[in-house]
Structure formats: C-alpha cells, structure tokens
Chains A and B, each alone.
Chain A
C-alpha cells in the first residue's frame, strides 16, 4: 500500500522543466514515487479522483507561472480543502521576487524555492526535500 502510493506530486507546465526535474528526482536517494501533472486544473482533477481510493501524496511541488490557474491559486485551493490541507506544498519557480516569496509563504507553502541555473544545483536543492518522503 505504502509502496504504491505517490510520494511526490509535481505540477509543472513547462515540458523542458518536467524533463529536467524528472532527471533530478531520479538522481536522489531514495528515488521518490513521482507523479507529474501538467497544470493546476490537471492537479485538481487528479486529486478529486484520488480522493475515493488512494492515500494522498507525501509532497506536492508546484510551479507558480501556469496557464489559467496560477500556482498561488492552486496553493489556496489545497489549503482551503480539508482533506488536502495537511499535505506539505513546496513552490518551485523561476521567480525570485520578494512579493512572490512572501505570498507563497503566507498562503501556507512549506517553502518557496527558486529554480537554480545549473543541473547540479537543482539536484542539490531537491535533495533538501528528501525527508518529506523518506521519513517513514
């Protein structure tokens, strides 16, 4: 049961970043059970199907700049939905603006991370998230 459950749910609309992040997660140890959805709408749809039969993911990683529903709106949805609000959410974005960071944290994000400019740094950054799915 535990083994088949999703440990990291990644919300990323950029195909390049989806590929980079997938590679980077694979470089981690232990490798999380990664599920990727394309945007906020897909996430909400995925979670509402999930509700009926599966355990919630251990961590949700979201981008901010997404079509239709922004990352902050997704965050608001997650934190306003009772059975989802306990899932830790990490914002992973290109934006280093203080305003965006403040808003992420005030909406209940566990952390607001800026996508680094090299693959090595990306792996190092994601490594800091390992405790979310390896703790138990």
Chain B
C-alpha cells in the first residue's frame, strides 16, 4: 500500500512538473512571437516616417499613426505612439523621431522603442 501511494505521488509530481514546463515553453514562445511582431510594427512605422515629406513630420501627423489590424489582433491591449522633437545640428534642421509599441503580456506591460534622426535635405523632400 505504502509503495503504491509513493508511486502515485511521484507520478503526480512528474506530471505536474512536465505540464508546467510545457506551459512555460508555450508562453515563452508566444511572448517571443509578440515581441517580433511589435518590433516589425515599430520598424514599419519608422519606414513610413523615413519616406514621408519633411514638412509632413509633425506631432499632429504622428498622432494619427496606428498599429496594423493584424498586430492589433495579436498584441493584447496594444498601442503605438510616435513623437517628434525638432532640433538643430549646426546648419541643419533635425527631427528626432521615436516610435513606441506597447502591449500587455503575462500581466505585465511590455514595450519596444525605436529612435531615428532625420536631417533636412534641401535638395530632396
């Protein structure tokens, strides 16, 4: 009787540990996928900003930027925020662009931020 109880106890422990490990792996995988999608979204936003005309890059224009439908569906409670700070580097006007994608994962708030500088080119828009 004692041996049977001990065997069942060991088996239950092994099953619990295995199930927990599998759950952690799945969560880790989901988290990695979400992070990769968030990074692509931030990079896409930055590409759009790098292609935009110099005069179009204003805080008003940036406030209209949104996540794609695919990313919004995948990332829970997600949002995209973009900011621009005007500056100067000697003779050149500069814009410091920052894009942040935030989402909730595993009860914690996660975010990815990219920063990019644009320098005014008089010849090209």
A and B interact: no
